[in-house]
Amino acid sequence: MPVTVMSGRLAGRVWIGVAALVFSAATAMTIAICVSMASKGGVPMAGGWTMSMAWARMCGQTWGGAATAFVGMWTAMTVAMMLPVLAPALRRSHGAAAGRGGVLCVTGAALAAGYFAVWIGMGAALYPAGTALAGLALRTPALARAVPWGSGVALLMAGWFQASAVKMRYLACCRAATSCAPAARSGARAALRHGVRLGLHCSGCCAGFTVMLLAVGVMDLRAMACAAAAIFAERFAPGGERVARTTGLLIVAAGLVMILRLWARPG
């Protein structure tokens, strides 16, 4: 018994250390990528906006290389933003494994793999859609001029979603302790499936923030930090539903300001 308890304590310390290292590495990588993207500027577009280099190929880069770079960038951003949200479920998964005498939390790794596979899959699906839209905007000035208006409308929709009944159902599921309980008795395969379910629920709950980031700039550090803080607060702060509605109002306000500025622009 003392060996098992000590092993559990050691595994707990290892888990905390690994999680902290992964979070720090993902955050540092995200900041470095954002700074690098900002230094490269962007592509000036009709309508007075600049297309991010995230949707363009670098000189000599293949489409496969560009897609891989985008998915890598998206993965680092997702881990930095969402690992703090997933951490309680991972810790419970570790606790269940330690309670069975486990030293290494294989179920926790499987849970994280399933969860982040959903987010990485989303990034892989978004890239071709984003590059297709960027290519059309480059070739069609009328579409390029409409993009800022579309971004404003997208912010209005994202803010509306934050206060919708669908969002509240997703949020209630994510906040409920039972929805994040580990698949402790069935091993790594069940934990992987449970991670996928958590990822699907979480990505649905965060749909408004995802749209917001795509509208204002997928690698905008300020928007990313605000979204990460809001996601964490609505999951763990008392009255998370009020937090969600408040952030929804703020996103709607940002959309209205963007549209009003476009409306007031001369010409």
Buried b or exposed e, range 170-199, using 16+ CB within 10 angstroms: bbebbbeeeebebbbeeebebbbebbbbbb
Confidence of residue 208 (pLDDT cuts 50, 70, 90): very high
Q: What is the mean pLDDT of residues 258-265?
A: 91
Contact 170, 85 (CB under 8 A): no
The yes-or-no verdict on residue 182 having pLDDT over 70 is: no
Tens-digit pLDDT profile for residues 209-228: 999 999 998 888 999 999 99
Pair of tokens at residue 44: 């000036």
- Higher pLDDT: 207 or 1? It is 207
- Higher pLDDT: 119 or 176? It is 119
Q: What is the mean pLDDT of residues 90-114?
A: 67
pLDDT at residue 62, as a whole number: 85
pLDDT at residue 3, as a whole number: 42
Cα Rg for the chain, rounded, in angstroms? Answer: 21
The yes-or-no verdict on residue 117 having pLDDT over 50 is: yes
pLDDT at residue 96, as a whole number: 52
The yes-or-no verdict on residue 240 having pLDDT over 60 is: yes
Buried b or exposed e, range 246-260, using 16+ CB within 10 angstroms: bbbebbbebbeebbe
- Higher pLDDT: 239 or 38? It is 239
Q: What is the mean pLDDT of residues 91-101?
A: 57
pLDDT at residue 180, as a whole number: 45
Side-chain-facing half-sphere of 30: CA atoms under 13 Å: 24
**CA dihedral over 233, 236, 238, 243, signed as positive or negative:** positive
Tens-digit pLDDT profile for residues 137-171: 999 999 999 999 999 999 999 999 999 999 999 99
pLDDT at residue 4, as a whole number: 44
pLDDT at residue 8, as a whole number: 53
pLDDT at residue 36, as a whole number: 84
Percent of the chain residues past pLDDT 90, beyond the cut: 57
Q: Which amino acid is at 138?
A: L
Q: What is the mean pLDDT of residues 46-64?
A: 82
Alpha helices in the chain (DSSP H): 2-40, 63-99, 106-139, 141-162, 165-175, 188-205, 207-216, 221-236, 240-264
DSSP secondary structure letters along 126-159: HHHHHHHHHHHHHH-HHHHHHHHHHHHHHHHHHH
Summary mean pLDDT of the chain: 85
The yes-or-no verdict on residue 184 having pLDDT over 90 is: no
The yes-or-no verdict on residue 42 having pLDDT over 50 is: yes
What is the maximum alpha-carbon separation in the chain?
78
> Rounded CA gap, 88 and 108, in Å?
11
The whole model's pTM is what?
A: 0.86
> Rounded CA gap, 214 and 155, in Å?
9
